Amino acid sequence: MAADAERWFKRILPQGLLGRSLLIIVTPLIVVQLVSTYIFYASHWDTVARRLATGLVGDVGAVIESLRAFPGPENRQRIIGIAASRMDLDIRFEMGGILPNTVMPKPSGIMETALHAALAERLQRPFLIDARSHEREVAVRVQLSDGLLEVFVPRKRLFSSTTYIFVLWMVGTSLLLLGIATIFMRNQVRSVRKLAVAADAFGKGRDVANFKPEGAAEVRQAAQAFNLMRDRIKRQMQQRTEMLAGVSHDLRTPLTRMKLQVAMLGDADGRAELEEDVAEMEQMVEGYLAFVRGEGGEASVPTDLSALVAEVVGRFRREGRDLDLHVEDTLVMPIKPQAMARVIGNLIGNALRYGGHVWVRVGKRPDAAEIVVDDDGPGIPEESREQVFKPFFRMERSRNLATGGVGLGLTIARDIVRGHGGDVLLEDSPLGGLRARIRLPL
Ligand SMILES: Nc1ncnc2c1ncn2[C@@H]1O[C@H](COP(=O)(O)OP(=O)(O)OP(=O)(O)O)[C@@H](O)[C@H]1O
Ligand SMILES: [Mg+2]
């Protein structure tokens, strides 16, 4: 139950920084206003209403007293005339009239209540209040000994509108404050959002231009730190690539020399093994060079991933291989197309090499694009699934280079996919062999 309430509360609370900070500013404001309105106006409004009602009842009482003191129709006309001109009271007198015997509805609202109380207290005669029949006036009927007195009071004599105006002002200024706070907070939040977008893009291996730190000091500091970090990572990546390229390249020349020398050895003992070793080393060097080439500053461009997969599959089909392709959605997203084609090629290549039949599927998941490559080969036992990603690790230790590569395929694949912010996962395929799953965050 409590957990339910908590979840509900979390769901209705704003998720974004802007919404939350506005809530933090506005909630206390509203609470303060409500409390002060309640405490102050509950009594203020009451007092004002009571004073106004008492004043009115005093006037009505004076009229009644005068009528009694100066009887006769002529006097009555004069008194009624004075009441109209000096007291703003519209008075009618019905000779011999009787107060209708209806039950007066319970007074509602501050004004009616106050009027009712004042009349009951000061007049001590039967009366009826009708505050609803007329728009601008309140009718008060009082039973006198010789007739019925009807008094029409302008509503504004009983009602102070300043209170309403004050409340309106309070609401108005709060809205103004909210508007100003929104504008200022939005600027603050924008810089945080910019940083978040940049960090997200960089995490997914996309190019991020240098962006100017702005906003509050802390945000600026974070943006500066991000820029520094990004530069450092870029530099390190470049350094690694250059070093790997250099080493691989430099090794080629002595390797070629060794190959020549081995060839000239004639029928010496162990010559075949030496030749194999040299050939293997050559392949490794080529592998490294290929790896490094894949890294070479290719830029992320919006690419149709499904089309890319279809293209790679097509390439294998033209070689006469048998593949099933199932495209669920078209997926355009920023990726490095050549590098990603290589990843897909490596995984399909493995599946074809170690399995027989291959199924490829591309589709969109809630938060990621997914490419799944299934085969019906022997698969990889659970405990080796991390190791196969290591450079030059191969399951079957055959040195027959014709049946396999050097063991860099998965290493390269994972490296590239992680560079896109995603990952390559190995699982059991429902089709018997291995399932390789590429996930790329959207
Ligand atoms: N689909 C698969 N089914 C069974 N085993 C696999 C599969 N894919 C990879 N492996 C195992 O994982 C090892 C590493 O694969 P990886 O692609 O990195 O290297 P490779 O295929 O041997 O060489 P290359 O560098 O030419 O790709 C392979 O040697 C193989 O033993
Ligand atoms: Mg491979």
DSSP assignments along 349-377, one per residue: HHHHHHSSSEEEEEEE-SSEEEEEEEE-S
* Residue identifier of the C-alpha nearest atom 4 of ligand 1: 379
Q: What is the pTM of this model?
A: 0.64
Ligand nearest to the backbone CA of 355:
1
Q: Which residue has tokens 């009271």?
A: 89
Render the burial of 323-351: b for 16+ CB within 10 Å, e for the rest.
bebebeeebebbbbbebbbbbbbbbbbbb
Phi and psi at residue 273, to the nearest 5°: -60, -45
Q: How far is the CA of 50 from the centre of ligand 2 (A)?
A: 93
Average of per-residue pLDDT across 345-360: 91
- What pLDDT does residue 248 have? 84
Q: How far is the CA of 51 from the centre of ligand 2 (A)?
A: 95
Two tokens at 116?
Answer: 């009712």
Q: How far is the CA of 391 from the centre of ligand 2 (A)?
A: 11
- Domain ranges, ordered by start, for the chain: 13-160, 201-297, 298-441
User: What are residue 435's DSSP bridge partners?
Assistant: 374, 427
Contact 48, 160 (CB under 8 A): yes
Q: How far is the CA of 437 from the centre of ligand 2 (A)?
A: 15
Phi and psi at residue 12, to the nearest 5°: -85, -15
d(CA 357, CA 291): 27
Contact 300, 335 (CB under 8 A): yes
Ligand nearest to the backbone CA of 391:
1
**C-beta neighbour count of 428 within 10 angstroms:** 15
| Nearest residue to 126 (alpha-carbon basis) of 112, 109, 140 | 140
| Nearest residue to 333 (alpha-carbon basis) of 359, 309, 357 | 309
Q: Which residue has tokens 């600026």?
A: 220
Instruction: Name the residue of 360, 410, 434 to mutate for ligand 1: max ligand atoms within 8 A of Cβ.
Output: 410
* Residue identifier of the C-alpha nearest atom 31 of ligand 1: 395
Q: How far is the CA of 395 from the centre of ligand 1 (A)?
A: 7
Asked, colleague to colleague, whether 13-160 and 201-297 share their fold, the answer is no
User: What are residue 439's DSSP bridge partners?
Assistant: 370, 423
Q: How far is the CA of 286 from the centre of ligand 1 (A)?
A: 17
Half-sphere CA count of 308, side-chain side, radius 13 A: 25
Contact 366, 359 (CB under 8 A): no
Residue range 277-322, pLDDT digits in tens: 888 888 888 877 877 776 656 788 999 999 999 999 999 999 988 8
3-state secondary structure 14-40: CCCHHHHHHHHHHHHHHHHHHHHHHHH
Residue range 373-432, pLDDT digits in tens: 999 989 999 999 999 999 888 877 554 555 567 788 898 899 889 989 899 999 999 988
Q: Could you tell me which residue, 396 or 192, shows the higher pLDDT?
A: 192
Pocket of ligand 1 (CB under 6 A): 287, 346, 350-351, 354-355, 375, 377-380, 388, 393-396, 404-411, 433-434
Q: How far is the CA of 271 from the centre of ligand 2 (A)?
A: 28
* Residue identifier of the C-alpha nearest atom 7 of ligand 1: 350
- Segment among 40-44, 45-49, 367-371 with least mean pLDDT: 40-44
* Residue identifier of the C-alpha nearest atom 1 of ligand 1: 351
* Residue identifier of the C-alpha nearest atom 12 of ligand 1: 388
Q: In CATH terms, is domain 201-297 a member of 1.10.287.130?
A: yes
Question: Degrees (nearest 5) of the Cα angle 426, 430, 435?
Answer: 20
Residue 136 has pLDDT above 90, yes or no: no
Question: Closest ligand 1 atom to the C-alpha of 405?
Answer: 26
Q: pLDDT-based confidence at 102, cuts 50/70/90? A: confident
* Residue identifier of the C-alpha nearest atom 29 of ligand 1: 394
Q: pLDDT-based confidence at 371, cuts 50/70/90? A: very high
Q: In CATH terms, is domain 13-160 a member of 3.30.450.300?
A: yes
Two tokens at 356?
Answer: 């027989």
| Nearest residue to 241 (alpha-carbon basis) of 300, 297, 281 | 297
Contact 262, 271 (CB under 8 A): yes
d(CA 148, CA 434): 102
CATH of domain 298-441: 3.30.565.10
